[in-house]
Amino acid sequence: MEKKRSGLSVLLAGLIKENPVLVLILGTCPSLAVSTMAVNGIGMGVAATFVLVCSNIFISLLKDIIPDKVRIPCYIVLIAGFTTIVQLVVKAYFPAIDKALGLYIPLIVVNCIILGRAEMFANKNSVWHSTLDGIGMGAGFTLALLVMGSVRELLGSGTWFGMPITVNAIDPMLIFILAPGGFFVYGCTIALVNRLSQGKAIKRKSFGCEGCPSAAACGNVVNERKGE
Amino acid sequence: MDLSKIGIILLSGVLVENFVLAKFLGICPFLGVSKKLDSAVGMSIAVTFVMVMATAATYPIYANILEPNNMGYLQTIVFILVIAALVQLVETVLKKYVKSLYQALGVYLPLITTNCAVLGVTILHFDKGYSFGEALINALGAGLGFLLAMVLFCGVRTKMESAKITKSFAGIPITLLAASIVSLAFMGFSGMV
């Protein structure tokens, strides 16, 4: 990743090859929670993309100023600021989306994708590439939410973006818009991506959020430290 | 506040509105640390501890400082900073004075700062209009629910390790499918409170 990359490849990486939700397995909580309807998925995706692009730009700009030791708190404050902006804008102009997403809008601040990209990409790349990475990753997040949201909405309520599709012909399977359906659809989607990519995508053997400060919880670091 | 209300809040936190399985909060540690029983229990106790502490710290700040001064919009920034500082503080205090507790929970504490379950629980209290006492109980219930989910799921994963799984489903996907079934079991509690 340290090699020179063209802007286009940075932009496209997030969309499919390094899709944050389906390949990097970041941001699982919001992906599961808001993908009950396609429109919610888009709303969440756009909100998170805005925060991601802004935080990537600013962290990339400030990467030489922020001392290394306190970088995580600095990133969190920056991200929290942008999250608050989104929260207020959504509340003022899109009350329906605010109601549907509720708690998950303020929780964008602890979304691993954003902190993860700050740590993995924005603090060692140029502003231009960081912007593109933010747009690409945000689009990838939105795409994954849209796919999962469409599947769950179609199976769970028989509609798509609120339009009735199969609801009159087949009884919708309510379970898909409830919690178990979320886990199920997410698992199947990742399996499908694994199958289609056939090892071309970056293989992830287990869960992990290397970029986020909870990284140690998601890997072997805990066991290593315990063994000291 | 009478005993039955405490019971209801606690029960709904543990079973009905289980944070992991019904609300999708704290999925990362749920999937990441549930491989071994001892680390699953350690992590959950640390989460419970921080949830209660964070509620005790953020509730008065919001109710007494932010709300009266019309600064409710600062909630997200203030809460995340308070939680981060608090976790740091708790870690330092435990390290210095309560060695045994530090050895049990210490490694998990720094990981919890940006756990969405902790921030989520502190914000949820206000959406539900809990009083300070009720909020503390709710935080305890949410933590215990997290513990229950972790321990149960840990058992499921231990069994799964010896199973033969199709290549595309191996690893993450099959774990999510198992979580789906555990979550299905918890659906049975909905409507109980």
Q: Tens of pLDDT along B132-150?
A: 989 999 999 999 999 999 9
Name which of A58-62, B137-141, B184-188 the model is least confident about.
Answer: B184-188
Specify the pLDDT at position A185: 93
On whether residue B142 sits in a domain, the answer given is yes
Q: Does residue A216 register a pLDDT over 60?
A: no
On whether residue B19 sits in a domain, the answer given is no
Minimal Cβ distance to B116: which of A84, A110, A205: A110
Residue the block writes with tokens 């993995």 = A120
Q: A55, A173, A205, A207: best mutation site toward chain B, by most B Cβ within 10 Å? A: A207
In degrees, rounded to 5, the angle at the alpha carbon of residue A201 between the alpha carbons of residues A199 and A205 is: 70
Query: Is A175 near chain B, with CB under 8 Å?
Result: yes
Q: What is the pLDDT of residues B57-98, one digit of tens each?
A: 999 999 888 888 888 888 888 998 888 888 888 888 888 888
Q: Could B120 and A107 be called an inter-chain contact, meaning their C-beta atoms sit closer than 8 Å?
A: yes
Specify the pLDDT at position A199: 59
Specify the pLDDT at position A206: 41
What is the value of ipTM here, to two decimals?
0.84
Q: What is the pTM of this model?
A: 0.84
On whether residue B181 sits in a domain, the answer given is yes
* Beta-sheet pairing, A163-164 with A159-160: antiparallel
Minimal Cβ distance to A218: which of B32, B74, B107: B32
On whether residue B4 sits in a domain, the answer given is no
Q: How far is CA A77 from the centre of its chain?
A: 19
What are the distances in angstroms from CA B180 to CA A6, A64, B16, B99, B187?
40, 44, 16, 38, 10
First to last CA, chain A: 33
Find, in chain A, the residue whose alpha carbon is nearest to that of B181: A180
Chains A & B: contacts with CB separation below 8 Å: 169
Mean pLDDT of A16-31: 82
Number of domains in chain B: 1
On whether residue B114 sits in a domain, the answer given is yes
Question: Which residues constitute the domain of residue B39?
Answer: 25-186
Specify the pLDDT at position A227: 38
